[in-house]
């Protein structure tokens, strides 16, 4: 037990868990009959799945030291292309059976996601441009492309399988939560077990040293942008399943929420670090706050302000100046309660 | 050799602008009609003033996403301020007050990023959310209707410095806003090139450690750069809302990418502390001539976002490639 | 008034528990040039920062022209006529030469406005005084290193400097530029300007310095005129022990391991050919800018060659990037340990395993064999006797010597056939230096082709069995280590 607690990363996980539970209790106690219901749990986790997958798409890039602002645009583009195939708007004459349309549509969405990653990766890794500039430009590009395809309108309707994904449960657990869980398990596997994950982390820690260690930054970055595009596409399908409609400008605010989750999970602060597990827990944390706000009927303005303030607060809390002050406070508290100090 | 390269970049921009304009004019002669020329110039005002502000921050090596929130918020505060004191407003105080609000708000970003040595960009993601919403939390409505606006300000819409009556009966009006753009550009040029503080902004973009060693206070320079940025986007914002005649927070949000596109096309380079007033104006001209004429050329509205995205990418690519070419020349 | 321009008396400075300076004295007369020497971490830079007003001393006295201070602020220091030229020159690459020269002057004299004409006139005055042609309108980033240094000196002169402190002034300069610098320095001395050189490269600085002050572990060791010293003595005072370097004589030479024929990289080097035989340590030496680092990086695949052929055990190599070099069995220990060699905030274990991740994940899914990786890392730590607390500590917690051994361990773990070492003992204490040299010789004996690239001549002479001299991108000579001494090698390098 002592060993588990002693590890710094584990300590972070545990404190995140604690914060989440405490938050759930506090926010739940305001509105217990609405908050602690199966229905609320299901609607919460569906929303969580969406944000969570976007957060993963962001995490993949943040680990390697960049930032991806094009996630939501890629997601919408992928969903629009995939969804159009599913509904027979594209290639409707060639692919007739609904099942074939569904499968081809999913494939198209994923391929679009990965291809968009290739484009981002080419500019960032191949030409060495700043990730923020490139992805904010490609974000426009992809959103523009989506607009061109939809001609500025929403495409309403979805195949049954997709709408079922967004509304049905398996033993009371929404399919979407299971899907998100699956994505997180994949990410956990990639970043904890595989060579690609290890190289991503080294690249994020020091890109120059990684190159001088005989690892190819180009290949690693390219793969990570492709993986980010892949997760974005899945995020797009999740959004589609929840809305049963396709729009080019859907969910623009989700980028900052995704960043908030990743930041809270600690990936941003430790260059090349951050555990997938911590991202997953902070996802719940953010979602509980978000649901609490929705239940108490606050406006988007309040929510945005709180997100912004949280973002800045977490950023500041990780800076050395504040860290020092915090540890001094901790030291004071420990001196006042010597018994507790010895135990730790 | 360096000098020649600089002329080259600027020349390329001007040639590009003329080329686009010519091609457009050949396709659709109405592009060069007095009405359309005036409307293009009017379209460039907001973008131009805001891009000049954006440039100032980019020269120091930072990048700020919250420009449109700052713009909107300072315009809102100015309008509310007039409402509270019951003043119908006038042009001069309007720009001064909005500029002051904008400068103060933007300095928050600068302070946080400099004090805690955080990336200004990441800080601005957070403050963007806050500035865009914090003042509306407790208000019943975030709109200001036309009849609730300070009435004198609405005259911005109709005040023209030049009015031409074309044969078709349509009027071509050159809006007063172009004066603001020209004045802002001139003031900023003087500040950046002729004052010690202005040079400090370039110096900060050149080398963050050296700037302290030669005797500048990096915090002061950062704050001033952000203040200039804030003032510019706020002036652009109050102009925009006065011109629109109503206030609604979201109206301005999607204009941010044009500003970034203009700054990048104008040759701003965050990595090297580069950017010039002339370059920005050329960048704004290019972006405006494309965006304003697409509709006239019969391109559907929904192609505009795509075009702007492609333009930014091209701009980034162009500046990188010309930089690489320069380095290769130096190597020889 | 005292005869000294600057006198430091009994200055001490501690950082938390570390005593960086302990009762240090230093004296400089007007027109004198003094060398402040010592190993890395001996307190040289702390002392400079106290003189320039960045740090406040804990105790002691600073006397400038007879006026005593307990501490200085940066402004006071500049006003007193003290100027520091840092190793990176602190110039602004995006501004012109004239502006760079005039900027600090304008700020110091509280000028609020800027005039290009005034800047040019000010700059022209000092540039003419020094007599070096400089294009005042060029952007500083287009200048060579030597020209940048001249700009920094001009900036100092414009502020009426009476004492110029130069941090490692000759490290980055070519022989020609060093000669030009010496000429400038003579001119400065003649004008009564005092100079302090901070350096650990004695050969070059000894030429201009009139007296030496040596620090070790934050204490004065000795201070006296140049004539009292010879190289062995200086080395003894700096390190506190006698260091004997014995030339390396391989027991036997085996077959050819690695061969380069006609390597060419446009604008950097050309016509580079050499071969490396089993058992020997090949040295490549040249001044900074001679193309030695670029050559090493090209052999490691980081710079695509424009021509030439590389063969390893008779097989031709086509390298695209460092990963292909590692796959072929070539390792490269880079020059700059802190930014290129190490992931500073990352655990020691992951640092050592950075090069072998691919080797231990040869399966379709790329799953890492963590146990195998750990065994390999532990074996290397054992073999190189790296002193560490825990493999999970960040590598930044180690001393310079141990950090360098971590980088070496990373490369030995890949099982290299050829290992390129670029300046392997920069910033390493003397004990570790000898230890690393012994390791290099042992590895050569074990059959790894070793190439040492360095401008540290004693190092080249004591580890290499054969030395290639590189000048302006070409090999200008090849020598057996036994036929060489430092003077001849020095002469070979400077011959431009």
Distances (CA, A) of A191 to A59, A186, C434: 11, 9, 40
Residue A91: both structure tokens together? 């290639």
* Residue C64, both tokens: 């400038």
Give me the pLDDT at residue B327, please: 58
Per-residue pLDDT, B329: 52
What topology is assigned to A41-297 in CATH? ABC transporter involved in vitamin B12 uptake, BtuC (1.10.3470)
Tokens representing residue B182 in the block: 């020209």
Contacts of B125 in chain A (CB under 8 A): 256, 259, 311
d(CA C464, CA B299): 71
3-state DSSP assignment of residue A152: coil
Interface of C with B (CB under 8 A): 74-75, 78, 86, 88-95, 99, 103-104, 106-108, 111-115, 137-139, 141-142, 266-267
Q: What is the 3-state secondary structure (H, E, C) of C238-280?
A: HHCCCCCCCCCCCCCCCCEEEEEEEEEECCCEEEEEEEEECCC
Cβ–Cβ below 8 Å for A215 and C354: yes
CB contact under 8 A, B137 and A132: no
- Phi and psi angles of residue C47, each rounded to the nearest 5 degrees, phi first: -60, -45
What domain count does chain B have?
A: 1
Percent of chain C surpassing pLDDT 70: 93
Query: Could you tell me which residues are beta bridge partners of residue C199?
Result: C37
Domain containing residue B291: 2-331
Task: For chain B, say whether A307 makes contact (Cβ under 8 Å).
Answer: yes
CA of C129: how far to CAs of B88, C112, C290, in Å? 64, 27, 30
Residue C377 is predicted with a pLDDT of 86
Same structural domain, C435 and C488:
yes
% residues pLDDT > 90 (chain C):
1
Q: How far is C488 from chain B (nearest CA, A)?
A: 31
* pLDDT in the model for residue B135: 83
CB contacts of C339 in chain A (<8 Å) are 206, 208-209
Does residue C92 sit within a domain? yes
What is the C-alpha end-to-end distance of chain B, expressed in Å?
12
C310 with C375, same domain: the answer is yes
Q: Average the pLDDT over C69-92 and give the result.
A: 86
Neighbours of chain B (3+ CB pairs under 8 A): A, C
Interface test with B, best of A133, A146, A289, A316 (most B CBs within 10 A): A133
Return the domain boundaries, chain A: 41-297, 303-344
Q: How far is C473 from C269, CA to CA, in rounded Å?
A: 4
- Residue to mutate among A195, A214, A215, A216, with most C CBs inside 10 A, is A214
Residue C22 structure tokens: 């302990």
Please check whether residues C140 and C165 belong to one and the same domain: yes
Contact C284, C476 (CB under 8 A): no
SS (H, E, C) C192-225: CCEEEEEECCHHHHHHHCCEEEEEECCEEEEEEE
The CATH code of the domain that includes C478 is 3.40.50.300
Buried b (16+ CB within 10 A) or exposed e, C92-102: bbbbbbbbbbb
A289 vs A311: CA distance, rounded Å: 14
Phi, psi for residue A240 in degrees, rounded to 5 = -60, -45
Check whether C490 has a pLDDT greater than 80. Answer: no
pLDDT for the residue numbered B1: 39
CA dist., res. B218 & res. C319, Å (int):
45
Q: Name the burial class of residue C429, with classes exposed (0-12), middle (13-18) and buried (19+) by CB atoms within 10 angstroms of its CB.
A: middle
Q: Are A141 and A238 in contact (CB under 8 A)?
A: no
Q: Please say which residue of C180, C212, C239 terminates a domain.
A: C239
**Contacts of residue C75 in chain B, CB cutoff 8 Å?**
215
What is chain C's length?
496
Q: Average pLDDT of each block of 10 consecutive residues along chain B (332 residues)?
A: 55 86 87 85 91 93 90 91 82 89 94 88 89 82 81 79 69 83 94 91 90 87 95 93 86 85 84 88 90 84 83 79 62 39
* C479 pLDDT higher than 60: yes
Which of B223, B224, B254 has the alpha carbon at shortest distance from B72?
B254
Q: What would the DSSP string read from start to end of B191-205?
A: HHHHBHHHHHHHHHH
pLDDT for residue C416 is more than 80: yes
- Which residues, 6+ apart, have CB-to-CB distance to A103 below 8 Å? none
**The pair of three-digit structure tokens given for residue B288, joined into one six-digit string:** 């405006």
Please tell me the predicted confidence (pLDDT) of residue A89: 78
Comparing CA positions, the residue from A120, A114, A145 lying closest to residue A234 is A114
Nearest to C102 by CA among C52, C78, C70, C136: C136
Q: Is A272 in contact with C343 (Cβ distance < 8 A)?
A: yes
Say if the Cβ atoms of C340 and A219 lie within 8 Å.
no
State phi, psi for B163 to the nearest 5 degrees: -130, 120
Alpha carbons B115 and A321: distance in angstroms, whole number:
9
pLDDT of residue B245: 85
Q: Which residue has the tokens 């290992």?
A: C419
Helix (H) or strand (E) holding B275: none
- Chain B touched by A150 (CB under 8 Å): yes
DSSP reduced 3-state for C463: helix
Subunit contact C107:B202, Cβ cutoff 8 A: no
Beta carbons of A205 and C351 less than 8 angstroms apart: no
A194 vs chain C: nearest CA distance in angstroms?
4
CB contact under 8 A, C95 and B203: yes
Q: Does the beta-carbon distance from C414 to A194 stay under 8 Å?
A: no
In chain B, which residues touch C (CB < 8 A)?
1-3, 193-199, 202-203, 205-207, 209-211, 213-216, 272-274, 330-332
Q: Is A11 on the interface with C (CB under 8 A)?
A: no
Tell me the CA distances in angstroms from A306 to A321, B39, B129, C364, one per residue in order: 23, 40, 8, 45
Q: Is the dihedral of CA C64, C67, C68, C73 positive or negative?
A: negative
Task: Report, in this order, helix, strand and coil percent for chain B, each rounded to 5.
Answer: 75, 5, 20
Helix residue ranges, H only, C52-86: 74-79
- How far apart CA C303 and CA C319 sit, in angstroms, is 9
Which parts of chain A sit beneath pLDDT 50? 1-5, 338-344
- Of B191, B253, B179, the C-alpha closest to B56 is B191
Angle at C35 between CA C33 and CA C37, to 5 degrees: 175
Number of domains into which chain C is organized = 2
Of B3, B193, B214, the CB nearest to C107: B214
End-to-end CA distance of chain A: 12
Q: Give me the phi and psi of B283, to 5 degrees please.
A: -60, -45
Nearest CA to A278 out of A289, A264, A291 is that of A264
Rounded CA gap, C149 and A28, in Å? 66
Q: Which residue has the tokens 């050149």?
A: B206
Q: What is the mean pLDDT of residues C405-429?
A: 85
A304 touches chain B (CB under 8 A): yes
* pLDDT on residue A186: 92
Same domain? C269 vs C188: no
- Rounded to whole angstroms, the Cα distance separating B25 from B19 reads 10
Number of cross-chain residue pairs from A and C with Cβ atoms under 8 Å apart: 78
The average confidence (pLDDT) of chain C is 83
Question: Which of C208, C239, C270 is the last residue before a domain boundary?
Answer: C239
Q: In the prediction, which pLDDT does A1 show?
A: 40
In terms of DSSP bridges, do strands C307-312 and C315-317 run parallel, antiparallel, or are they unpaired? antiparallel
With a CB-CB cutoff of 8 Å, which residues 103-132 of chain B face chain A? 112, 115-118, 121-123, 125-132
**Residue B320, H or E segment:** helix B304-331
**β partners of residue C261:** C309
Cα(C245)–Cα(C232) distance, integer angstroms? 11
Q: In the prediction, which pLDDT does A337 show?
A: 55
Residue C282 · residue C304 · CB < 8 Å: no
Q: What pLDDT is stored for residue B331 in this prediction?
A: 42
DSSP class of C142: G
Calpha distance A90→A68 (Å, rounded): 29
Within 8 A of B287 by CB-CB distance, chain A residues are: none
**Which residues 161-220 of A have a C-beta within 8 angstroms of C?**
193-196, 198-199, 201-202, 205-206, 208-216, 218-219
Instruction: Compute CA B77 distance to the chain's CA centroid, rounded to the nearest angstrom.
Output: 20
Ramachandran assignment for A107, one of left (phi > 0), alpha (psi -120 to 50 degrees), beta (any other): alpha
User: Is the minimum CB–CB distance between B301 and chain A shorter than 8 Å?
Assistant: yes
> According to the model, what pLDDT value does residue A340 have?
40
As a whole number of angstroms, the distance between CA A78 and CA A98 comes to: 19
Q: Which residue has the higher pLDDT, C247 or A300?
A: A300
Residue-number span of the structural domain to which C84 is assigned: 6-239
For residue B146, what is the DSSP state?
G
Which of C92, C112, C139 is opposite residue B2, by nearest beta carbon?
Answer: C139
Q: What is the CATH number of the domain that holds B105?
A: 1.10.3470
CA B1 – CA B6 distance, rounded (Å) = 9
Q: What whole-number distance in Å separates Cα of residue B89 and Cα of residue A133?
A: 39
Closest CA to B42 of B158, B173, B170, B231: B173
User: C: neighbours with 3+ CB pairs under 8 Å?
Assistant: A, B
Quick check: B302 and A316 CB within 8 A? no
User: Rounded to an integer, what distance in angstroms lies between the CA atom of residue B219 and that of residue A248?
Assistant: 41
3-state secondary structure of C38: coil
Q: What is the pLDDT of residue C494?
A: 63
Site from A8, A10, A212 to mutate, C interface, most C CB atoms within 10 angstroms: A212
Residues pairing with C333 in the sheet: C421
Structure tokens at C470: 């590189």
Residue C192 pLDDT: 87
Ramachandran area for residue B167 (φ above 0: left; ψ -120 to 50: alpha; else beta): alpha
């Amino acid at each position: 037990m002592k060993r588990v607690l002693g590890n710094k990363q584990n300590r972070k996980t545990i404190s995140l868990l604690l914060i989440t539970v405490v938050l759930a209790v506090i926010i739940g106690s305001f509105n217990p009959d609405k908050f602690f219901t199966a229905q609320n749990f299901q609607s919460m986790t569906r929303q969580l799945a969406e944000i969570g997958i976007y957060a993963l798409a962001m995490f993949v890039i943040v680990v390697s030291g960049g930032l991806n602002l094009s996630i939501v645009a890629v997601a919408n583009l992928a969903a629009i292309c995939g969804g159009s195939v599913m509904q027979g708007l594209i290639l409707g004459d060639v692919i007739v059976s609904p099942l074939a349309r569904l499968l081809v549509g999913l494939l198209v969405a994923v391929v679009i996601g990965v291809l968009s990653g290739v484009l981002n990766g080419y500019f960032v890794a191949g030409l060495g441009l700043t990730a923020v500039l490139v992805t904010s430009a490609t974000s426009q590009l992809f959103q523009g492309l989506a607009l061109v395809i939809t001609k500025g309108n929403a495409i309403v309707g979805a195949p049954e399988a997709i709408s079922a994904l967004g509304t049905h449960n398996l033993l009371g657990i929404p399919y979407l939560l299971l899907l998100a869980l699956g994505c997180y398990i994949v990410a956990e596997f990639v970043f904890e077990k595989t060579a690609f994950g290890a190289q991503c982390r080294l690249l994020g820690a020091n890109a120059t040293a990684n190159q001088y260690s005989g690892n190819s930054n180009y290949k690693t970055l390219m793969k990570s942008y492709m993986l980010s595009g892949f997760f974005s596409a899945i995020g797009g399908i999740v959004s589609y399943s929840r809305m049963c409609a396709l729009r080019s400008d859907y969910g623009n605010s989700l980028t900052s929420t995704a960043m908030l989750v990743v930041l809270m999970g600690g990936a941003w602060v430790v260059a090349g670090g951050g555990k997938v597990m911590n991202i997953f827990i902070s996802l719940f944390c953010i979602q509980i706050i978000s649901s609490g706000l929705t239940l108490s009927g606050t406006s988007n303005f309040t929510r945005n302000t709180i997100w912004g303030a949280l973002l800045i607060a977490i950023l500041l809390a990780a800076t050395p100046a504040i860290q020092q002050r915090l540890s001094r406070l901790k030291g004071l508290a420990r001196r006042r309660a010597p018994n507790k100090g010895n135990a730790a | 050799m360096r000098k020649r390269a600089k002329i080259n970049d600027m020349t390329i921009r001007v040639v590009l602008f003329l080329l686009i304009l010519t091609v457009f004019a050949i396709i659709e002669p109405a592009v060069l009609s007095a009405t359309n020329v005036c409307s293009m110039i009017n379209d460039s005002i907001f973008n131009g003033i805001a891009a000049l502000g954006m440039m100032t921050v980019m020269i120091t090596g930072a990048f700020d996403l919250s420009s449109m929130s700052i713009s909107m918020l300072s315009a809102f505060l100015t309008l509310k301020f007039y409402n509270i004191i019951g003043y119908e407003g006038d042009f001069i105080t309007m720009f001064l007050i909005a500029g002051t609000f904008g400068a103060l708000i933007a300095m928050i970003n600068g302070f946080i990023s400099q004090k805690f040595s955080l990336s200004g960009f990441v800080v601005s993601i957070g403050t963007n959310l806050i500035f865009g919403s914090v003042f509306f939390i407790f208000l019943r409505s975030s709109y200001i209707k036309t009849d609730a606006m300070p009435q004198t300000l609405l005259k911005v819409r109709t005040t023209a410095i030049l009015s031409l009556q074309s044969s078709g009966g349509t009027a071509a009006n050159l809006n007063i806003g172009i004066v603001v753009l020209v004045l802002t550009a001139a003031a900023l040029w003087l500040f950046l090139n002729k004052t010690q503080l202005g040079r400090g902004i370039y110096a900060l973009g050149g080398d963050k450690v050296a700037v302290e060693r030669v005797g500048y206070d990096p915090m002061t320079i950062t704050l001033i750069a952000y203040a200039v940025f804030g003032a510019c986007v706020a002036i652009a914002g109050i102009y925009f809302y006065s011109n629109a005649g109503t206030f609604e927070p979201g109206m301005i949000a999607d204009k941010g990418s044009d500003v970034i596109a203009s700054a990048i096309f104008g040759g701003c380079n965050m990595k090297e502390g580069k950017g010039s007033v002339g370059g920005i104006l050329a960048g704004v001209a290019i972006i405006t001539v494309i965006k304003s004429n697409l509709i006239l050329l019969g391109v559907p509205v929904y192609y505009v976002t795509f075009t702007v995205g492609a333009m930014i990418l091209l701009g980034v690519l162009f500046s990188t490639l010309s930089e690489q070419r320069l380095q290769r020349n130096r190597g020889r | 008034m005292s005869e000294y321009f600057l006198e430091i008396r009994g200055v001490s400075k501690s950082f938390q528990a570390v005593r960086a300076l302990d009762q240090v004295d230093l004296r400089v007369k007007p027109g004198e040039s003094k060398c402040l020497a010592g190993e890395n971490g001996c307190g040289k830079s702390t002392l400079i920062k106290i003189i320039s007003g960045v740090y406040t001393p804990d105790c002691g006295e600073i006397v400038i022209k007879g006026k005593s201070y307990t501490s200085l602020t940066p402004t006071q220091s500049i006003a007193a006529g003290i100027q520091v030229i840092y190793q990176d020159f602190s110039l602004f690459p995006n501004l012109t030469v004239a502006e760079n020269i005039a900027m600090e002057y304008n700020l110091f004299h509280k000028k609020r406005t800027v005039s290009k004409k005034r800047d040019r006139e000010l700059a022209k005055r000092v540039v003419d005084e020094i007599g070096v042609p400089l294009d005042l309108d060029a952007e500083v980033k287009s200048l060579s290193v030597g020209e940048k240094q001249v700009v920094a000196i001009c900036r100092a002169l414009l502020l009426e400097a009476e004492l110029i402190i130069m941090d490692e002034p000759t490290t980055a300069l070519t022989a020609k530029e060093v000669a030009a610098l010496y000429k400038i320095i003579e001119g400065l001395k003649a004008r009564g300007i005092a100079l302090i050189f901070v350096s650990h490269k004695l050969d070059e600085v000894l030429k201009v310095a009139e007296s030496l002050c040596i620090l070790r572990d934050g204490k004065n060791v000795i201070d006296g005129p140049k004539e009292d010293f010879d190289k062995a003595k200086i080395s003894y005072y700096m390190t506190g022990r006698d260091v004997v370097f014995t030339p390396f004589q391989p027991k036997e030479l085996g077959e050819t391991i690695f061969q380069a024929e006609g390597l060419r990289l446009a604008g950097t080097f050309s016509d580079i050919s050499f071969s490396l035989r089993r058992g020997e340590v090949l040295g490549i030496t040249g001044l900074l800018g001679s193309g030695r680092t670029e050559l090493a990086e090209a052999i490691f695949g980081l710079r695509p060659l424009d021509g030439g052929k590389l063969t390893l055990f008779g097989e031709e190599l086509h390298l695209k990037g460092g990963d292909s070099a590692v796959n072929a069995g070539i390792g490269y220990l880079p020059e700059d340990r802190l930014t290129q060699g190490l992931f500073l905030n990352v655990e020691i274990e992951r640092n050592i395993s950075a090069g072998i991740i691919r080797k231990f994940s040869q399966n379709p899914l790329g799953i890492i064999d963590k146990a195998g990786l750990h065994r390999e890392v532990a074996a290397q730590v054992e073999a190189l006797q790296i002193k560490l607390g825990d493999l999970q500590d960040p590598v930044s917690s180690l001393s310079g010597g141990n950090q360098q051994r971590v980088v070496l361990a990373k490369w030995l773990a890949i099982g290299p056939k050829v290992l390129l070492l670029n300046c392997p003992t920069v910033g390493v204490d003397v004990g570790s230096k000898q230890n690393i040299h012994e390791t290099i010789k042992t590895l050569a004996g074990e059959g790894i082709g070793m190439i040492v690239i360095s401008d540290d001549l004693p190092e080249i002479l004591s580890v290499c069995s054969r030395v290639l001299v590189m000048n302006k991108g070409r090999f200008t000579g090849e020598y057996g280590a036994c036929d060489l001494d430092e003077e001849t090698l020095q002469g070979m390098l400077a011959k431009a």
